[in-house]
Amino acid sequence: MTVFASTDYNAHEIVSHFHDPASGLRAIVAVHSTVLGPAFGGCRMYPYADDEAALADALRLSRAMTYKAALAGVPFGGGKAVIIGDPARDKSDALLTAMARFIDSFGGRYQTADDVGTTVGDMAVMRRITPYARGLADAAGEPCPATAWGTYHGLRAVARHRFGRRDLAGLSVAIQGLGSVGWRLAGYLAADGVRLVVSDIRPEAVARAVRAFGATAVTPDRILFEDVDILSPNALGAVFDDRTIPQLRARAIAGAANNQLARPEHGRMLAARGITYAPDYVVNAGGLIDVAHEGPGYDPQTVLHCCAGIAETVAAVLRRADRDGAAPADIADRMAEECLAAGADADKPLVSPGFRPYDIGALA
Ligand code: NAD
């Protein structure tokens, strides 16, 4: 396995491997960039087919975190931790403790939170060893609603840009996935008078949405292809590819799922089909904004206020995409790179401790 030869290697600052024979932990931490602040990114636990797949995930996801943080205006760089193993079978307090020691060894240069295969409860175990395991539960023990609130505001920005609408009443939105983000999003949209079409592989979640929001249920194989104003993927990655894009009937896309485009060119394919795409990492930055506020004086209302600022960032991306005749996904990357360049050049980082949203006036 060679890091530098990997196609996912992108001038990462640190790539570190860790093995703890006693607990069986095998893990990789990739620090992509600390230009704008300490590298932050979730700790994923997954039964990777091999070490190379784990490394590729860490490299790719840590870079994405750099871009997400840059456009969210939070003082973080990008990193990612991956634990090679099956969370249902291999996770133990001993393994989490060993992982916490590994993370602590970065002295704060890398900081983590819950992700696929880990929970806010796991972070609480790790916090006994290191303060750099973040991610708090809300009062009900769920991850906080910040991601759903940010996604809602990102979607509103798309509606405004695409349909000239300040409100959402009467628009139709198809939601794929009614988990912690999709369910909350459905609630916000229903309250705005949106006509909802929903799907989940958990029939009980779908039945609940039909009852609670008057949503129309469709099967998981149909949800992407519904004839709606906005499609909101909140379940899986890589949903837009050579097969699905030609069949889409939605006019616009705004959802929280990570890595919605199977490959970068799929952002251009969406644009060529006239479908307005709000880049996933801009839309779903609410959780990151929330983590950035953790600590003494944490105020959920301030967090939600900052998450609403995602609307301005989405609007800036879409305006510039129109102006330049480019795909919004490419424009978001370019804007993030501009933030990084500004942050690297300045005496002080571009982002402020007040976590202003991305300064759209400067670059839009
Ligand atoms: P979740 O696991 O709570 O919910 C995902 C839902 O999708 C589940 O209800 C699941 O049954 C459903 N699902 C799975 N496969 C499906 C399919 N083929 N068709 C329809 N539904 C399907 O996850 P979440 O926390 O709500 O996150 C949703 C997405 O947003 C994920 O891609 C996640 O990576 C991304 N995201 C989440 C956060 C966050 O703070 N939770 C932050 C950034 C990005």
| Residue spans per domain, the chain | 14-67+76-126, 144-364
Pocket test for ligand 1, best of 155, 201, 224 (most atoms within 8 A of CB): 201
This prediction's pTM = 0.90
Residue 206 in contact with ligand 1 by CB distance below 6 A:
no
Residue 315 in contact with ligand 1 by CB distance below 6 A:
no
SS3 307: helix
Residue 16 neighbours by CB distance under 10 Å: 15
Q: How confident is the model at residue 105, as a pLDDT?
A: 97
Residue type for position 315: A
Residue 234 in contact with ligand 1 by CB distance below 6 A:
yes
Looking at the CA of residue 202, tell me the nearest atom of ligand 1. 11
Q: What is the mean pLDDT of residues 83-94?
A: 97
Name the residue at shortest CA distance from atom 8 of ligand 1: 179
Share of residues in the chain with pLDDT > 90 (%): 79
Residue 306 in contact with ligand 1 by CB distance below 6 A:
no
pLDDT grade, residue 354 (50/70/90)?
very low
Residue 357 has pLDDT above 70, yes or no: no
Looking at the CA of residue 255, tell me the nearest atom of ligand 1. 30
Q: What is the mean pLDDT of residues 337-356?
A: 59
Name the residue at shortest CA distance from atom 29 of ligand 1: 257
Mean pLDDT of the chain: 91
Residue 287 in contact with ligand 1 by CB distance below 6 A:
yes
Q: How confident is the model at residue 298, as a pLDDT?
A: 84
Residue 34 in contact with ligand 1 by CB distance below 6 A:
no
Pocket test for ligand 1, best of 119, 175, 185, 200 (most atoms within 8 A of CB): 200
Residue 47 in contact with ligand 1 by CB distance below 6 A:
no
Give φ, ψ of 271 to 5 degrees: -65, -40
Q: How confident is the model at residue 300, as a pLDDT?
A: 85
Q: How confident is the model at residue 18, as a pLDDT?
A: 97
Task: Give exposure, 23-56, as e/b (b: 16+ Cβ within 10 Å).
Answer: bbbbbbbbbbbbbbbbbbbbbbbbebeeeeebbb
Residue 352 has pLDDT above 80, yes or no: no
pLDDT grade, residue 82 (50/70/90)?
very high
Q: What is the DSSP string of 224-240?
A: GG---SEEEE-S-S--B
Q: How confident is the model at residue 356, as a pLDDT?
A: 41
Residue 358 has pLDDT above 50, yes or no: no
- Could you tell me the two tokens for 338? 């501009």
Q: What is the mean pLDDT of residues 185-198?
A: 98
Q: Separation of 176 CA from ligand 1 center, angstroms?
A: 9
Q: Separation of 264 CA from ligand 1 center, angstroms?
A: 21
Catalytic residues: 80
Residue 312 or 360, more confident: 312
Name the residue at shortest CA distance from atom 3 of ligand 1: 179
Q: How confident is the model at residue 268, as a pLDDT?
A: 98
pLDDT grade, residue 345 (50/70/90)?
low
Q: What is the mean pLDDT of residues 74-99?
A: 97
Q: Which CATH number fits domain 14-67+76-126: 3.40.50.10740, 3.40.50.10860, 3.90.1410.10, 2.40.30.10?
A: 3.40.50.10860
In the CATH scheme, what is the code of domain 144-364? 3.40.50.720
Is 39:78 a contact under the CB 8 Å cutoff?
A: yes
14-67+76-126 and 144-364, same CATH topology: yes
Q: Separation of 345 CA from ligand 1 center, angstroms?
A: 37
Measured between alpha carbons, how far is 163 from 228 in angstroms, rounded to an integer?
13
Is 189:214 a contact under the CB 8 Å cutoff?
A: no
Residue 321 has pLDDT above 90, yes or no: yes
Residue 113 in contact with ligand 1 by CB distance below 6 A:
no
Looking at the CA of residue 284, tell me the nearest atom of ligand 1. 43
Residue 339 or 323, more confident: 323
Residue 325 has pLDDT above 70, yes or no: yes
Residue 287 or 254, more confident: 254
Reported as a single tens digit per residue, the pLDDT across 111-158 is 999 988 999 899 999 999 999 998 776 655 565 689 999 999 999 999
Residue 197 has pLDDT above 70, yes or no: yes
Q: How confident is the model at residue 140, as a pLDDT?
A: 56
